[in-house]
Homo-oligomer: A and B are copies of this chain.
Amino acid sequence: MNVVIVGATGLVGRTMLRVLEERNVNVDRLVLAASERSAGQTMTFRDQPLDVVELRPETFDGIDYALFSAGGSVSRQFAPVAAARGCVVIDNSSAWRMDPDVPLVVPEVNPLDALLHRGVIANPNCSTIQLVVALKPLAEAFGLRRVVVSTYQTPSGAGQKGLDQLRAELEGRMPMERISPHQLAGNTVFHTIDALNADSEEETKVMRETRRILHMDSLPLAVTCVRVPVIGGHAESVAVETERPCSADDVRQVLSNAPGVVVVDDPANAQYPTTVRANDTDPVYVGRIRPDASVANGILLWVVADNLRKGAATNAVQILEVLAAHR
C-alpha cells in the first residue's frame, strides 16, 4: 500500500506521519509532499529519513491513498488530479465536506459511508468529530431531540500560525502572522464570521457536518465556537435533549461501551476530562455527565479530544484503515 501525505510539513501533516507509525499501518511506500517552499526538508518515518517533495500531479502516480492537509485551495486543485490517477484522497480541508458525492466520515460513527466514495473522502472539522463520537451512541440508545454546544478550542485548529500567534503573545513578542485581529493570550475570541452570516464559519461547519455524519438532516443544533488560550485540544460543553428518558447513569453506561470514547467522570475527586490530559492521545473523553433539570430528558456532557489527533490526523488514518480493510 503506497501512501502520500500532502501538506506533510504542517501541524496536521506531521501528526499524520506519527499516527501512521504508531498504528503500524501497512504502508509499503510513504511519500511526503508539500508546497515548493517546504519541499527539500527531511522528515523521519520508521527511523528512516524521507525527503519532502514538491507536490505535482505526478506525485500521485503509483500511490493508493493520499492524506491531504494542505488547505482548501490545494485540495480543490489536487484532489481531482489524484482521484483521476486512481489514488483515493482522504482530505482534511473543508473543500469537499458538503459535496453530496464525497462521503464525510468518522469511523466510529458512519464507517460504511467511506465505501461509497468516488475517489475523495472528506475528514470532518475537528470540533465536529469529537462531538459526533459522543453523540452517536446517545442517538442510538435514546434518540436526539436537540443539542446545544459551546466550544473551548485551541488556536492550533488554525494550524501552526494559530499556535505561533498564541506563543508569541505568551512570550511577550509581536506575532509574525495573526489568525485573529484580537490577542489570543488571556482572551476568548471567535473564528471568522463573514458579513452574510450571523454564525461563524466554524459554527456553520459543526452544524452542517454533524447533521450529515449522523444522517439526521434536521437535527436541531445551536453551536457557539470559541477560541481559548489552550494548546492541547478542544473541549465542548454539550447540552443534549434526548427523545426518550435517560438517567446520567444510563448515559455513562452507554458511553463507557462506545467505540472511541473514554469516560472520565469522578468529579468529587476532580477527575474529569481536561484539555491537558487529552493532549497527544486519541480518545474522545467524556465527563461531567449529569442531569439537566431545565428541560425534559436533558443531559449535560463535557467532551474533550486532541484536535490534531482524533480531530484530524487519527481520524484520517482510521478512514484509510477502513478502506484498506475493504480492499
Contact = CB atoms under 8 A, between A and B. Distances in A.
A22 to B, nearest CB: 23
A231 B239 CA distance: 27
A295 B146 contact: yes
A295 B298 CA distance: 14
Contact of A198 (B189, B195, B224, B248): B248
Interface stretch (A98-106, A268-276, A317-325): A268-276
Contacts of A293: 220, 222
Interface stretch (A41-49, A131-139, A177-185): A177-185
* Copies of this chain: 2
Given A182-B270, A182-B274, A230-B229, A290 B239 contact: no
Contact of A224 (B221, B270, B300): B300
A198 B274 contact: no
A294 B206 CA distance: 14
Interface string A185-213: 01111101111001110000000000000
Given A152-B152, A193-B267, A186 B294 contact: no
A292 B200 contact: no
